[in-house]
Structure 1
Amino acid sequence: MSRSLELLVLAVALVTTGPVATQAVASPKAITGMGRAATADEIKAWDIDVRPDFTGLPKGSGSVTKGQDVWEGKCASCHGTFGESNEVFAPIVGGTTADDIKAGRVKGLSQGGARTTLAKLPTLSTLWDYINRAMPWTAPKTLSTEEVYAVTAYILNLGEIVPADFVLSDQNIRDVQKRLPNRDGMTTDHGLWTPGGKPDVKSVACMSNCEINVAKVASYLPNTARNAHGNLAEQTRPVGAVRGVDTSKPPATPAAADVATLRADVAVAAAPAATTAEPARPDVGGAAGLAKSRNCLACHGLANKIVGPGFNEIAAKYKGRADAASYLAGKIKAGGSGVWGAVPMPAQPLSAAEAGVLGAWLAGGAQ
C-alpha cells in the first residue's frame, strides 16, 4: 500500500461509523451518520505516487519525438527550448558529461558546477512523478500518461542519456535508471534519514547581538499603473492559497509616516552619487576560476562543447580581432543567440570588471 493510500484509508477510518471510528476518536460519544467509504476511483485519483523502485508507475510509453512536440507547446516557455534556460526556473539540462553517465556520480557537483535537475537527480521515478503531478505549471495534472513518458524521454535525450529515436516505457525505464548521471549520488548517511545520525551541516548558534533593522517602504505601484494589465488576482493559477493583489480596487491609503519615509528614500536615491574610482579588475590569470565561480562551466567546457561552445572554440573564432576583448565582454553581459546556433545564452549578472576579465581572457586564448 502506498503512503498516500495509507493516509486516505486513515482519514476515512476517522470519519466512518462503526468500531474503528469509535476507537480512533478520543471522544466519549461515537460519531454517527458522518462520512462513507471511499470508492475505488476516488482512491485511484489520489494514489498516483511513483516510488524509486517504480511501484505505482502506470503502464505506457512515449517517444523522444513526441516529447519534443509536447515540450515546445507546453514547457519551453518556462524552461527554454533545450531545458537550459535560467530565466524563469533553474536549468534542467547541463552540467553532466558522458563520464558521469558511466560513473553514476556527477563530478561537477563536488567542484562547484551547475546544480541542474539532471545533475542532481538520483532516481528517474522522481522526475516522472513530478512531471505527472505538477506540470505544466499553468495546468498541473493535465498531461496524459503518454505525454509524461514522452516529456521525460525528451529531457533524458537532451542530457544525452538516451538517443533521439528512443521510446521510454514502463518496460525499459529501469534500464534507463542505470544510466542516470547521478544515480549513485544520493546519501542517507546523515541525521535527516537516520535517527541519531550525524547532522548534514555543522555550525554554532549565531542568533546573538543581531542588528535591528526597521522595515522601510522602498517601492510601490503607482495608482496610474495599478490596473494597467488587468486584475492581478485573476491571473494566478487556480490552485493553492496564494492570490495576487486585487488591482481592480483602490489601494489602501498609506500612513503619513510611510509616505514621508518613501519621499525621503526617493530623494536620497535621486541625489547625485559620489564619484568613486572603479574597483581594480581581477587578474586575468584568475579568469578560469572566475568562470567556474560564476557557473559558466555549466554550459561551456574549457576545451569542449557542453550546451554552448567550448572556451577554446570561442578563443579561436575571435583570434586576431582587434576589439575581441570588449566585444566578448559585451556579449557575456548582454547574452544572445544565433552566433553558435539556436540555443540562447541568457544575460549574465556580472559586473563590468568581471565581464572585462572574462572577455580579455577569451581574447587571449583562454589558457
Structure 2
Amino acid sequence: MSRFREAFLTAALLAMATWASAQNTPYPGVGRVATPKEVAKWDIDVRADFKGLPAGSGSVAKGQDVWEGKCAQCHGVFGESGEVFSPLIGGTTAQDIKTGRVANLNRSDYPGRTTIMKVSTVSTLWDYINRAMPWTSPKSLSTEEVYAVTAFLLNLANIVPDNYVLSDQNIAEVQERMPNRNGMTTQHAMWPGKEFGGTVQPDTVNKICMKDCTPEPKLASFLPDFARNAHGNLAEQNRIVGPQRGADTTRPEPKAGAVVSAAQTAAPAIAPKPENAEAKAAIALLNKHSCTACHGVDKKIVGPGFNEIAKKHAGKVDYLAGKIKAGGSGVWGPIPMPAQGLPDADAKKIAEWISKGASK
C-alpha cells in the first residue's frame, strides 16, 4: 500500500503543478511554453557588443570561394554591382578607417551610397549574412562560411588584409576599423540632420491650420471612346468575388441618367480554363527549389522569365536540364546563375515544361 500511496501522491502533485502552471499562462489550455532548445533556434541575433556571436572563424580566401559560388550572381565579383541590389563595397577610404566617419556621406553630389559606407557595426554584416543570405536559400551558410564571407567583404573594403582570418576572438578589433563606426547618430530628428544643415526639431510640433482653407476640389475623369477597350474587357479582368466587377468595355459607356439593366451590365460568363497538371507540377518544383526567387514565369526578376527561355530553347530538354544543373553566365547577361543541386529527375521535369512553352 505504501508504494501505491507514494505513486498516487506523486501523480497528484504533478497534476497540481501542471494546473498551476496553466493558470499562470496568458492563454490557459492553449499551447505550451517553448523549451530552451526551441528558443535557442530562434535566438540567433548578434548584438553590437557581439553577444550572441557563435564561436568560429573564417578566412578571406575561404570567403572568396563561397562568394563566387553563392553571392557574386547578385552582388558582383567585387561586391560593386548595382544591377540587382545596391552596391555593397565602394566609397570608403583609408582616412575613413582612421576617423571612423565616411567623408563621402557628407557630399550631396556623391553618386551613391554603398552598404560599407553606411553600416557602423560589423555585427550587423555578420548577423544579416547569417540570417538572410543567400537570397535563394537563407540560413543555409555554415558558421565558418558566414565568418569567411564577412571577412571577404571587409577585405574588399581594405579593412582587413588578404591573409586575415576573422573569428569571434578578433571581431572586436575589426570593429575599431569600420569606416563609419562613429557615423551612427540619433540627433538628426528628421532627415536630413545637422550634417546637412537641416533642422534638429521634429516636425510633430506643427499645428493644423483650420482657417482660410481652400475649397476641396472635385475631381472627375472619363475614358475616351477610342481607349475604352484598348486593353481588353475590364469585366473579364477582375475577381469574381468582392465589390469590384469592372465595366464591360466591349459596350459603349451608358449616357448619364440612362437606366441600365442588370443583363446589360453583367459580365459575360468566362469558361474556366482546364487545369494544366504538367505546369502545376513544374511550378511546384520551381517553388520547392527556390527558382522563382530569380525567375518569373512570364517576367524577368534577376534572370530571364521562363517564357523567354522557352522561346529561345523550344524542344531542347537535355540542354535545358544541363543548364539548370550546371549554371553558367553570359547567355542572358553578366549575372551568373550558380549550379543547382536539385535531383536530375526534377531538373528534367522543369526542362520538359520549359521546352514546351512554360505555360501556366
- Superposition TM-score, scaled by structure 2 size: 0.51
- Corresponding residue of 1:185: 183
CA RMSD between the two structures:
4.3
Question: What is the alpha-carbon distance in structure 2 between the residues aligned to residue 151 and residue 98 of structure 1?
Answer: 21
SS at the partner of 1:175?
helix
Structure 1 residue 41 corresponds to structure 2 residue 37: yes
List aligned pairs for 1:251-290, cutoff 5 A: none
Question: What is the alpha-carbon distance in structure 2 between the residues aligned to residue 217 and residue 191 of structure 1?
Answer: 50
Structure 1 residue 102 corresponds to structure 2 residue 98: yes
1:91–1:117 CA contact under 8 A, matched in 2: yes
- The gaps in structure 1 that reach 5 residues or longer are 1-15, 221-226, 248-343, 345-367
Question: What is the alpha-carbon distance in structure 1 between the residues aligned to residue 218 and residue 284 of structure 2?
Answer: 37
- Corresponding residue of 1:118: 116
Question: What is the alpha-carbon distance in structure 2 between the residues aligned to residue 237 and residue 188 of structure 1?
Answer: 42
Structure 1 residue 110, shift from structure 2 partner: 1.1
Deviations 1:333-353 (A, max 9, x none): xxxxxxxxxxx9xxxxxxxxx
Q: Pick the structure with greater CA Rg.
A: 2
Structure 1 residue 219, shift from structure 2 partner: 8.1
Distance verdict in 2 for CA 1:120–1:39, change over 3 Å: same
1:190–1:200 CA contact under 8 A, matched in 2: no
Structure 1 residue 44, shift from structure 2 partner: 1.3
SS at the partner of 2:160?
coil
- Corresponding residue of 1:65: 61
1:135–1:143 CA contact under 8 A, matched in 2: yes
Question: What is the alpha-carbon distance in structure 2 between the residues aligned to residue 108 and residue 69 of structure 1?
Answer: 31
Letter aligned with residue 92 of structure 2: T
Structure 1 residue 231, shift from structure 2 partner: 6.5
Question: What is the alpha-carbon distance in structure 2 between the residues aligned to residue 210 and residue 118 of structure 1?
Answer: 49
2:28 to 28, 31, 36: 31
Question: What is the alpha-carbon distance in structure 1 between the residues aligned to residue 136 and residue 178 of structure 2?
Answer: 28
Structure 1 residue 22 corresponds to structure 2 residue 19: no
1:149–1:169 CA contact under 8 A, matched in 2: yes
Question: What is the alpha-carbon distance in structure 2 between the residues aligned to residue 39 and residue 71 of structure 1?
Answer: 36
- Corresponding residue of 1:54: 50
SS at the partner of 2:173?
helix
Deviations 1:223-245 (A, max 9, x none): xxxx99x9767645879xx9x98
SS at the partner of 1:168?
strand
Structure 1 residue 38, shift from structure 2 partner: 2.2
Structure 1 residue 22, shift from structure 2 partner: 3.2
Question: What is the alpha-carbon distance in structure 2 between the residues aligned to residue 236 and residue 128 of structure 1?
Answer: 27
2:173 to 166, 172, 175: 175
- Corresponding residue of 1:199: 202
Deviations 1:95-153 (A, max 9, x none): 11111111101010110332101000101101000000000000000000000000000
Question: What is the alpha-carbon distance in structure 2 between the residues aligned to residue 166 and residue 219 of structure 1?
Answer: 59
Question: What is the alpha-carbon distance in structure 1 between the residues aligned to residue 221 and residue 33 of structure 2?
Answer: 54
How many residues align? The count is: 216
List aligned pairs for 1:1-367, cutoff 5 A: 18-19=19-20, 22-23=23-24, 25=26, 31-32=28-29, 34-112=30-108, 113=110, 114-189=112-187, 198-199=201-202, 235-236=286-287
Question: What is the alpha-carbon distance in structure 1 between the residues aligned to residue 222 and residue 25 of structure 2?
Answer: 49
Distance verdict in 2 for CA 1:41–1:66, change over 3 Å: same
Deviations 1:165-211 (A, max 9, x none): 0000000000000000000000022559xxxx9438999989x8698
